[in-house]
Amino acid sequence: MKATHLCAIAACLLLVSIVGCRAGGQVYEVKDAPIETAKPLTLDQVQKAIIDAGIKQTWIMTPVKPGEMLGEYNVQSHQIHVLIPYTTKNYSILYKDSSNLRYDPEKRTIHVNYAKWIERLDNEIKARLKMAAE
């Protein structure tokens, strides 16, 4: 009987640790990532690459003004908004706000999957910028 209780307690602790791990990681941001392409791009080409990258990764990209994009990502009940300022030389992906991701503004922590979603978007932007320069 004691072995059964110990197994149940161990299973509960494992579940709590797994759920706790998903609770948060540091807010991941891309700041001033250089645009490294074979030839210089125009601001319009950079904008198009960012929009195309967003579409590929199921983000909604909305131009705010020349050199600034608002990105929105919806997955299940989660929602993210990021600002993407850009020039012909660099771009950033900056946290704006979110829903259902347990964001803690004091600790700057958020759901652990947030970093993965931003990394995927960043990698796709880099790929689209290189394609635009070919």
Q: Which residues pair with 93 in a beta bridge?
A: 30
pTM for this structure? 0.81
Residues in the chain, how many? 134
Alpha-carbon gap, residue 99 to 115, rounded angstroms:
15
Q: Which two tokens stand for residue 67?
A: 């050199």
Rg, the chain, Cα only: 19
Q: Which SS3 state, helix, strand or coil, does residue 117 take?
A: helix
pLDDT in tens, the chain (134 residues): 565 554 444 444 434 434 444 457 999 999 999 999 999 999 999 999 999 999 999 999 999 999 999 999 999 999 999 999 999 999 999 999 999 999 999 999 999 999 999 999 999 999 999 999 98
What does the DSSP 8-state code read for residue 129?
H
The pLDDT assigned to 11 comes to: 44
- DSSP readout, the chain? -HHHHHHHHHHHHHHHHHHHHHH-EEPP-EEEEE---SS---HHHHHHHHHHHHHHTTEEEEEEETTEEEEEEEETTEEEEEEEEB-SSEEEEEEEEEESS--BTTTTEE-THHHHHHHHHHHHHHHHHHHHT-
Which residue carries 């392409």 as its tokens? 37
Full set of structural domains in the chain with CATH: 25-132 (3.30.310)
